[in-house]
Amino acid sequence: MATDQTVLKHIKELADEEHHLYEKGNLTDDERERLKAINIALDQYWDLLRQRRARREYGQNPNEAEIRRPGVVEKYEG
């Protein structure tokens, strides 16, 4: 079961990997694909964290929040 802390830990790990790739500079095709995947995953995990916090704020169970499909999360304008 995910907690806010485990979600935040995963976000930090993804962000660290993203920064490492950006700092590297010239990326291979595989690294560019990984960077895209990281960006999508970051959007999904930030969305999950927002869902958990909203559920808690409105007296609902935060553990019922779920990771949404990339197509849903990527269309958000925050």
Q: What is the pLDDT of residues 15-28, one digit of tens each?
A: 999 999 999 989 99
Residue 74's pLDDT band (boundaries 50, 70, 90)? confident
Residue 19: alpha-carbon gap to chain centroid: 14
pLDDT in tens, 9-65: 999 999 999 999 999 989 999 999 999 999 999 999 999 999 999 999 999 999 999
With 0-12 CB in 10 A as exposed, 13-18 as middle and 19+ as buried, what is 45? buried
